[in-house]
Amino acid sequence: MQPAGVKEVQARGVRRGALGLAVCAVLLVLAMLASLAIGPVTIAPARVMEVLLAALQGERAAGVREAIVVLDIRLPRTLLGLLVGMALALGGALMQGIFRNPLADPGLIGVSNGAAFAAVGWIVLGHHAVDALPAGLAALAGTAGLPFAAFIGALLATVALYLIATRDGRTSVATMLFAGIAIGALSGAGTGVMVFLASDQQLRDFTFWSFGSLGGSTFAKVWAAAPFVVLLLLAALPLARALDAIALGEAEAFHVGVNVQRTKRIAIAAVAAAVGAAVAMAGVIGFIGLVVPHLVRLALGPGHRVLLPASALLGGALLLGADVVARTLVSPAELPLGVVTAMMGAPFFLGLLLRRRAALGG
């Protein structure tokens, strides 16, 4: 018996977690600064800070181009990227925990499929709805229609999956997984029909939307998405112990006192709303939800008390980094953000799989 062993192991874990969180937070701050300072319009970092500090004191030189670029274009874009990255990565960590599967991503609960179907539906058929609206509403629908439709589509898909997988108050994640594949195929077919009906322009709109972008970020979008992401953070962080227990199995989690059904309900609802909002604002952005929790687990261990906040921080950092690449690599054109995250994420992920295969002797 070496009682010190456990103490040491636990202390090491706590130290590693604290250090990891600090590193993630620093990375996030650096990514935010990079996102504010780097873009096709060259502005010296010192000048960026000047503009930001002046704005903080309520001063703002109207019409100055640097102020417009930093405050009206890059600042909302940075904030929206932060929210979207947090939602995707934290959503991925939660889904991996609930599904007990390190390959789960937020798309598993139908959010992306539902949102994509609704988005293409809006792009192709939305003008009929707009025509039927009174002028004031039509103007609103012109700017908010696409994100709103995508958000509703995401929620409806998740609600459908949840209802299919829930019986007698118990949600079977296995059923949810399979129903997700079916609903995915169904909305894929619906998306195909819309694509068939689409004109060239609509097709292009949808294709660029479906690869994701932070272009066109406004404070209005930031304020619209923020409550859902904050709600996700508030809902997710207290679930850490429950998710640790669920890693042993749902029955075992119940044995140690976890209300498993409630945990699943909260996690699914919070993820659907936040990831739905993220997809609505920025389109489908892959790999962040899959890779970030993986990275964190690799570096800091699987305990959700650290995994959840660290994923949120690192998710925001990685997405902002990817966006800096997206908007500078082929400037003045902009690479689709989902393409950048996939190009960064997919090789990393393959490497991970190969390493694991080697470890398993496969």
Residue 247 interacts with another protein (CB under 8 A): yes or no: yes
Binding residue (CB under 8 A) for another protein from 9, 26, 61, 230: 9
Task: Return the number of the residue (260 or 266) whose C-beta is nearest another protein.
Answer: 260
Q: How many CA atoms lie within 13 A of 3 on its CB side?
A: 0
Q: Which stretch binds another protein (CB under 8 A): 25-33, 228-236, 299-307, 310-318?
A: 299-307
Binding residue (CB under 8 A) for another protein from 215, 233, 343, 352: 215
Binding residue (CB under 8 A) for another protein from 23, 27, 54, 138: 138
Task: Return the number of the residue (10 or 59) whose C-beta is nearest another protein.
Answer: 10
Per CB under 8 A, contacts with another protein among 20-59 are 39-41
Nearest-angstrom CA–CA distance, 199 and 193:
12
Count other C-beta atoms under 10 Å from residue 122's C-beta: 26
Least distance (Å) between residue 309 CB and another protein: 15
Count other C-beta atoms under 10 Å from residue 88's C-beta: 36
Binding mask 161-200 for another protein (x = CB under 8 A): -------------------xx--xx-xxx-xx--xx--xx
Residue 283 interacts with another protein (CB under 8 A): yes or no: yes
Closest CA to 236 of 279, 268, 260, 261: 268
Binding mask 57-96 for another protein (x = CB under 8 A): --------x--xx--xxx-xx-------------------
Q: Which residue has the tokens 């620093």?
A: 26
Task: Return the number of the residue (58 or 332) whose C-beta is nearest another protein.
Answer: 332
Q: Which stretch binds another protein (CB under 8 A): 29-37, 137-145, 230-238, 309-317?
A: 137-145
The count of residues interacting with another protein (CB under 8 A) is 105
**ω into residue 3 within 30 of 0, thus cis?**
no
Residue 252 interacts with another protein (CB under 8 A): yes or no: yes
What residues does 171 pair with on adjacent strands?
166
Q: Which stretch binds another protein (CB under 8 A): 22-30, 49-57, 257-265, 311-319?
A: 257-265
Token pair in block for residue 320 = 């902002």
Nearest-angstrom CA–CA distance, 347 and 51:
38
Count other C-beta atoms under 10 Å from residue 299's C-beta: 15
Least distance (Å) between residue 244 CB and another protein: 5
Least distance (Å) between residue 7 CB and another protein: 4
Q: Given CA atoms 79, 80, 84, 87 in this order, what sign does their dihedral have?
A: positive
Task: Return the number of the residue (26 or 249) whose C-beta is nearest another protein.
Answer: 249
Residue 106 interacts with another protein (CB under 8 A): yes or no: no
Closest CA to 143 of 217, 228, 85, 229: 217
Nearest-angstrom CA–CA distance, 298 and 110:
27
User: By the 8 A CB rule, do 106 and 88 touch?
Assistant: yes
Per CB under 8 A, contacts with another protein among 300-359 are 301-303, 305, 327, 330-334, 336
Binding residue (CB under 8 A) for another protein from 24, 89, 258, 274: 258
Task: Give the C-alpha distances (Å, rounded to integers) separating 99 from 92, 105, 169, 225, 310.
Answer: 10, 9, 17, 25, 19
Least distance (Å) between residue 1 CB and another protein: 4
Least distance (Å) between residue 169 CB and another protein: 10
User: In the 8-state DSSP scheme, what is residue 166?
Assistant: E
User: In the 8-state DSSP scheme, what is residue 237?
Assistant: G
